[in-house]
Amino acid sequence: MTPEYRFTAKKKFKWWGEGEWVTEPDFYSFTHEGLECTIMRMGVLDGPGHIFGGNLNGYVCIPPNHPDFGMDYMVKDHGYEVHGGLTFAEYNDDKSVFSIGFDTAHSYDLVPSMISIRKQIKEEMGEKYPRLFANRTIFSGTYRNFEYVVNETKKLAEQVKARMP
């Protein structure tokens, strides 16, 4: 499937400022190792005119015959090694599909909306609190781009495949 652009570059720039996310795809569904995989850009309305997020998440569908179908990733470590660990495991509405996934909004990740939040805080507080921004990974982490998230999602799919009966 072809990557999709669900937000315009103009909107992404307005919400999250300048960065490679402005020109990257926002959604991508593909098959790897025979498993359905999805990349999705996250965005949550966080007040008038502000969309929190801009980061990408990766998901892999687990087949019903798989030993981890329906697992609760929070109960124990299932041994999947992916960026930041598993942060998602859910059924779809009719419980016919079960997916696991990860996000790229950890303390060491740069979430695009944090750029506009930082700018707003600086404008409101001026240089009154310079230490507020010093060495804060929430404002200066690494952005996990589309290519990175696709590769991590493929890595997760390969691990799911390796555990299939």
In a domain, 132, yes or no: yes
CA angle 44, 77, 70 (to 5 degrees): 65
The answer as to whether 117 is a domain residue is yes
Q: How many domains does the chain have?
A: 1
In a domain, residue 2? The reply is no
Residue 128 resides in a domain: yes
Q: Is residue 1 part of a domain?
A: no
In a domain, 4, yes or no: no
Residue 3 located in a structural domain: no
Ordered per-residue pLDDT tens for the chain, 165 residues: 899 999 999 999 988 889 999 999 999 999 999 999 999 999 887 766 667 899 999 999 999 999 999 998 887 668 899 999 999 999 988 888 999 999 999 988 999 988 777 666 666 665 665 665 555 555 568 999 999 999 999 999 999 999 998
125 within domain boundaries: yes
Residue 49 CB neighbour total at 10 angstroms = 8
Structure tokens at 2: 């072809």
Domain coverage including residue 23: 9-162
CA distances to 14, 119, 129 from 59, in Å:
27, 31, 39
Separation CA 9–CA 18 (nearest Å): 10
